[in-house]
Amino acid sequence: MASKTENKNEIIKTGRRKCSIAVAKLVSGKGRIFVNGKTLKGYFGNRPSLEMTIYRPLVLTDNQDKFDVRVKTVGGGVSAQADAIQLAISRALMEMNAELRPTLKQEGLLTRDARIKERKKYGRKRARKRFQFSKR
């Protein structure tokens, strides 16, 4: 769990999901979220479910208007990136205020989802799919 703290108003935390890695920086502000230099809508497009996923830790702790979040994310798909951002924001909020831990923990926002894609096996089409068996 990599974290750097440059000053007290700025917390940097990392979140991961599948092949995605997100590094979130929480700064005092008005509640804006920037992902890879773009706004949230500009990066993820019109996907309200992903927006709700990202805002969930901020809304649960009543911090949606108190912090600006700047995120750098790489790898994976948009859904995995959104989950990685959610984890990074949750970890940063917990470091900012340790009293938020029970709320975030109860909602399962501090648990890293370790499921990743299973590797392809030799002699098969994919990880588990096999070629059709022919008896004769």
pLDDT in tens, 80-92: 999 999 999 999 9
Contact (CB, 8 A) for 91 and 38: no
Cβ-in-10-Å burial (0-12, 13-18, 19+) of 76 comes to: buried
Percent of the chain with pLDDT strictly greater than 70: 94
pLDDT in tens, 45-57: 999 999 999 999 9
Residue-averaged pLDDT of the chain: 92
pLDDT in tens, 6-39: 566 899 999 999 999 999 999 999 999 999 999 9
Task: Calculate helix-pair angle for 78-96, 48-60, nearest 10 degrees.
Answer: 10
CATH 3.40.50.720 matches 3-106: no
Pairing mode, if any, of strands 67-74 and 33-35?
Answer: parallel
Long-range CB pairs of 27-30, under 8 A, 24+ apart, other chains included: 27/67, 27/68, 27/69, 27/70, 28/66, 28/67, 28/68, 29/66, 29/67, 29/68, 30/65, 30/68
**Residue with structure tokens 């030799």?**
122
Note the pLDDT of residue 100: 93
